[in-house]
Amino acid sequence: MKIHRKIIALLALLLVSLLVRQPEGTEAAANQSNNSCGIERGRDVVFVIQDTPGMQAQDPSQSRINEAIFAVDQADTLDRFGIVGFNEAVTHSFSLSSNKYQAKAALKKLLTSSEENANDASTGLEKAIRDLSATQSVNDKVIVLMTAGTSINNEKIFSLANEAYEKDIQIHTISFGSTPSSIIDETTLRKISRITDGNFHTAVNAAYLREVLSNLRQEIADFPGRELYSDWTLTSDVTEPRGLLVHENVKVDLNGYNLTVTDDLVLLKCTEIRAVNGAVIKAKKLDQKTGSSIRLNNSQLNVTENVTQDGSIVVNGNYKNSAAPELVLASYTQRIHGYLNLNGQEAIISSPILQEGRIDLNGGTFHAKNNLEQKGRFNVQEGKLQVDGNLTINGGPLLDDAYMENKSLDAGGGLVQVGSKESMEMTNNKGHVRQAGGQLFVNHGTVKIYGDYTISDGWLTMIKGSMDTSTPQYGEGDGDFVHVFGDFSTASKRNHATRTYIHLGKPMNDQGHLTDGVLKIEGTFTQSGDGEGHPIYSDRMLQYEKDYSRYNFHAEGRHKVALMNKGKIRAQAKGFTFNLLELHGNLSDYPTDPYVRWNKLNEVVKSANSNLASLSINDKAVPGFTPAVRNYFRFEVPADDYPAGGAQTLKVDARPQDRNAIVDILDRTLSSDGTGEVKVQVTAVDGTKSVYTVEVKIGPGSGGKVTSIKLDRNEIVFTENDRGTYNPEKIVIGYTVYPTNATNQQVSWTSTNPAVATVTPGGIVTPHMKGETSIVATTADGGLIDTAAVKVLGQNDLLQGIKTLEDFVSDNDRFDKIMGGLYDVDKIGIVVPGNYIKKLTFTNPGMLSGGTIETDSGTARVEVRINGITLGANKAGNNFIFNRASMKVTDYVEVIAYDAVSNELERIGTTYPVNFTSTSGVSPGYYSIKTLLENQVLFNQILEEYSPKQLRFSAR
C-alpha cells in the first residue's frame, strides 16, 4: 500500500512539469518570449540579496539597500518588485507587487543582517525563480543577485541559471568586496549572467551601483557600431561599415533593398527585420536575442561567421530561384528560445551546429555540411535534413503520448540523411549517428545513415507503416524506414517494449517503440544491457531515471529488421527479441549469441529484378508508366515552379519493385530553354541494371494566383479569471498563403460573433464574453478561407464534474488545460477531511450491512451514498447509523455532512469494507495545488493517509 501511495506522490512531479511546460508546437508557441512584444509592459524585478554579517562588512554604507530603494522609487507604473534575503536559507521574502511602499519596507528589513554567515545563493535564486515563474504577467522578468564572498552549491546555481534562461528570466549579478580578505567568486557570477544574457558588475561605490540598477535593460555596453533606436525603412541598398545594434521594439523594413553589416548584427528583444522581394541581409556575425524576429519573404539571410539565434527566423517564399538557398550560414547555435521555420525553402550551414530550440522544415531542406547536435525539437515535416558530418541526437525525455511536445528529431514523412555513399568512400570519420538521449521519431519518414548508428540512451521510435513489412516491396515512403549502412548498436536504458501500468485511473504506460516499419542494417547488430528498474512499474512511472536496458530492443507488431551482409548478431538481455527477422542469406551464415530471439524468421536470396514500381516527377506520376517500358516523352511541369532563366532542378521519386535494388538519379535538370531529361538507373541486388528516361518541358502556370490558406491552429481557448478578464489576454494567429510566391498575399480577418471575441487586421484575437465564435481568414485573391474555433469559458467551466483528486487527474485533456495556465493553482486544491466527520466504521448487524458515523457536534445531518444511491442515516448523539440489506466488496461509500441549514460541511469517501478514521498526522482543511507542489513532504503525507477518492476537489 505504501508503494502504491508513493506512486501517487510521483504525480506531483508530473504536475510541476506540466505547470511550467511550454504550449504545443506552433510558431507562436515556439517563441513564447515574443508574446509580450507590441504590448505595453514593465519589469518584474526580484532583488536577491545576501543577508549575512559578511555582506554588511563589505557594504557598511548599505549601498545595496539604499540604491535598490532608489530603483524602486524611479520605477514605472507597470513595474513590480520582489525581495528575497538569504544566507544558507531564505531569511526574508516579499512577493512581487507594484506597491512601492511595501517593497521599500521589505528592503529596509535587510538593513539589519541575520546572524548566520553562511552563503548559499542557490536558495535565494530558487525562491526568486519560483516567484517569477508563477506570474502570468507579460512584464520582462529580471533577478538582481547581490552577494559577497563565495557561495556553496555552485552546480545547483548553474542548474538554476539554466532554468531561469529557459523561463526567459534574466539574471544580473553584482559582487561586493574590495578588501584583501574578501573572496569574490567572480567566475561563478559571470557565468550565471552569461547563461541568462545578463550582466556582471562589481559594486565600486554607491554612484556606480545606482547607474547599474538604473540600466537593467541595457544588454550591450560600448557597442562598436551604429545603434538604432527607432523604426527604419530602407530607400536604397545600405552598407554599415561596422556593426549594427537594433534596440528593443524597433522594426527594420528592407523594403526590397539589401542590408550589409560589415561586423556584428545584434537584435535585442522585440525587434524585427523584414526582408521582401529578393532582398539580402548580410552580416559577419548575427546575435539574435530572445523575442526578436527575422522574416524573409522571397529573400535571403547570409552570415559569414557565427550565428547565435534566440529569437525567430521565418522564411516565406523562395529567393530568386529554387537553386539559391534562403539561409546561408556559417557556424549556427540555436538556443532554447530560438525558432526557425523554413516553410519549404532551403538552409545551408557550413560549420558545426548546436540546436536547442525548435526547427520546422515544412517540406524544406536543412543542409548541415558539418556536424549537427540536436537537443531541441527538430521537425523534418516532409522535408529533408542532410548532415554531411556526424549527427548527435540528445533531446529530452518523453512528455506526451503523441510525441509532439518532446525535444525529438521527428522525421515526419521526410528524409533524414547522414553522410553519403561518396563521403564514406573518402573517410570513415563522417556519416555516423550517436544517440546520447532523446528520441529519433521516424514517424512515417525515411532515415539513411551511411556510417554507424550507436544508441547509448534514448528511444528509437518506429510505430508507423502503411503495408505488410514482410513483403519485399516495403521501402522508402511506405512507413517507417531506417537504413543503416554501417553497424547498429544499442545500449539504451529506456524501455522500448509495451508495458501497461494504470495509476489512479490515469495511464502511465510505456508505449511500444518498435511496432512497425523496417530497420535495414548492412553491418553488425549489437544489443547491450540487461537492467530492469522495476518488475511492475513502467519506465514512465519512474520518470525515466532507472535502467530498463533489458527491453531496449523488444520488437512487436509488424516491425522488421533486415540484416543484409552476414554480420554478427549480439544480444545480452533476457527481454531482447526481434519481431520479424529477415536475413539475406541463411541463418547459418550469421554468428549469433544465445539471447538472440525472434517471433518470425525469413531467409532471402539475391534478386535480379531491376524494374521500377513507380516513377513521379515533382510529385506527379509519369502518365502511362509501365515497369517494362523504359522511355517516356512530353512530361510537363508547372511554370510557377520554374521561372525562366538559369538551370532548374527537378524532384524525382523513383521506387524499385525490389526494394533491395539501388536507385540512382543520373539526370534531373531543366536547361534555361525549359527542356530537359530525367534519367534513372536501377541496379538489382545481383548487379543487373536498367535505365529509365523521361523527356521534360515547362508547361503552363497558375499565373501567380492563390490556391489555399492555412492557419497555424484550429482551436483557441480563453478562460475567465477572478479579475473579470481572461487568460490569456489575447492570442496572435499565424497563417501561410499558398503558393508562398503568389502575387497577392493579403488576408482579411472576421469573427462570426464579435460579442464573444474580436480579431484585428493583424490576426490578434481578444476575448470579450463567454461563448463561442469562429475566426475566419479570407484571402484577397480568390476569397479562400480557413477558420479557427474560439471558446471563451467561464471561470469554473472546465472544473465541472471534478469532485475528487482522482477526478482531477483522470481526464488528460482537461487536466492539461487546467494546469497549462488557464487557472490560478493557488485557488484550486483539495480538502483533507476530519473537521466534521471523525470516523466511519462498517458493521454487520444480523442480516443487514451498515455502519456508524462519528461526527463533530456542528453536524446537523448526514447523507450516505452507496454507488450513487442515497440512504438515510439516523442520529444517535454525535453519531449517525445507517443500514442496508446487503453490501459487497468494492461498493463505493460516500458520507456527506451538513449543517442545520443544509450547507455542505464536508464529505469523505471509501470502499467497503475499508473503515475511515480521521488522522492526526495531517491537519484537516483546504490545501491548494500550489501549496502541494511546493511542499512535496506534505503532499506525500496526505497521500499516505488518504486515497485520491477521499480527497474532495475544491475551487475558490
Sign of the four-CA dihedral 210, 214, 217, 219: negative
C-alpha dihedral, 267 to 273 to 275 to 280, nearest 10°: -20
Task: Check residues 608 and 65 and name the one with the higher pLDDT.
Answer: 65
The partner residues of 273 in beta bridges, in order of sequence, read 252, 294
Tens of pLDDT, residues 637-662:
877 666 554 567 888 999 998 867 89
Check whether the bond before 739 is cis (ω within 30° of 0): yes
Asked if pLDDT for residue 10 goes beyond 70, the answer is no
Tens of pLDDT, residues 254-298:
999 999 999 999 999 889 999 998 899 999 999 999 989 999 999
121 HSE (CA, 13 A, CB side): 31
The partner residues of 766 in beta bridges, in order of sequence, read 758
- Return the top range by mean pLDDT from 544-548, 684-688, 733-737, 847-851: 544-548
pLDDT bracket for residue 30 (50, 70, 90):
very low
Identity of the amino acid at 582: E
Percent of the chain with pLDDT over 70: 91
Distance in angstroms (rounded) separating the CA atoms of residues 450 and 428: 10
b/e string for 576-589 if b means 16 or more Cβ within 10 A? Answer: bbbbbbbbbeeeee
Of 267, 180, 105, residue with least CA distance to 94: 105
Of 267, 216, 247, 292, residue with least CA distance to 44: 216
pLDDT bracket for residue 217 (50, 70, 90):
low
Alpha carbon 619 to its chain centroid, in Å, reads 32
Task: Check residues 390 and 782 and name the one with the higher pLDDT.
Answer: 390
Provide the 8-state DSSP code for 75: -
Which three cell numbers, joined as nine digits, stand for 78?
507597470
The owner of cell 517507417 is: 480
Question: Using an 8 Å Cβ cutoff, are 629 and 680 in contact?
Answer: no
Phi, psi dihedrals of residue 820, rounded to the nearest 5°: -85, 10
Task: Give the containing element (helix H, strand E) for 108.
Answer: helix 100-108
Tell me the average pLDDT across 778-794. Answer: 91
Neighbour-count burial of 207, counting CB atoms closer than 10 A to its CB (0-12 exposed, 13-18 middle, 19+ buried): exposed
- 199 Rama sector, left if φ>0, alpha if ψ -120 to 50, beta otherwise: beta
- pTM beyond 0.75: no
Tell me the average pLDDT across 22-27. Answer: 33
Distance in angstroms (rounded) separating the CA atoms of residues 475 and 480: 9
Distance in angstroms (rounded) separating the CA atoms of residues 852 and 843: 7
Say how many residues make up the chain.
956
Question: Using an 8 Å Cβ cutoff, are 124 and 90 in contact?
Answer: yes
Task: Check residues 36 and 730 and name the one with the higher pLDDT.
Answer: 730
Characterize the bridge pairing of strands 293-297 and 312-316: parallel
Task: Please tell me the predicted confidence (pLDDT) of residue 19.
Answer: 34
Of 662, 667, 661, residue with least CA distance to 680: 667
Q: Which domains does the chain have, with CATH numbers?
A: 32-214 (3.40.50.410), 241-370 (no CATH), 376-584 (no CATH), 612-698 (2.60.40), 708-795 (2.60.40.60), 799-955 (2.60.40.10)
Candidate from 428-432, 717-721, 893-897, 942-946 with smallest mean pLDDT: 942-946
**Residues 345, 350, 356: CA angle, nearest 5 degrees:** 75
pLDDT bracket for residue 183 (50, 70, 90):
low
Of 49, 67, 124, residue with least CA distance to 90: 124
Give me Rg for the CA atoms of the chain. Answer: 32
Distance in angstroms (rounded) separating the CA atoms of residues 528 and 560: 19
Asked if pLDDT for residue 909 goes beyond 60, the answer is yes
Candidate from 61-65, 166-170, 557-561, 904-908 with smallest mean pLDDT: 904-908
Phi, psi dihedrals of residue 290, rounded to the nearest 5°: -55, 130
Distance in angstroms (rounded) separating the CA atoms of residues 857 and 899: 10
Task: Please tell me the predicted confidence (pLDDT) of residue 151.
Answer: 77
Characterize the bridge pairing of strands 384-387 and 869-871: unpaired
Question: Using an 8 Å Cβ cutoff, are 735 and 714 in contact?
Answer: no
**DSSP per-residue letters across 757-786:** EEE-TT-EEEE-SSEEEEEEEEETTT--EE
Neighbour-count burial of 832, counting CB atoms closer than 10 A to its CB (0-12 exposed, 13-18 middle, 19+ buried): buried
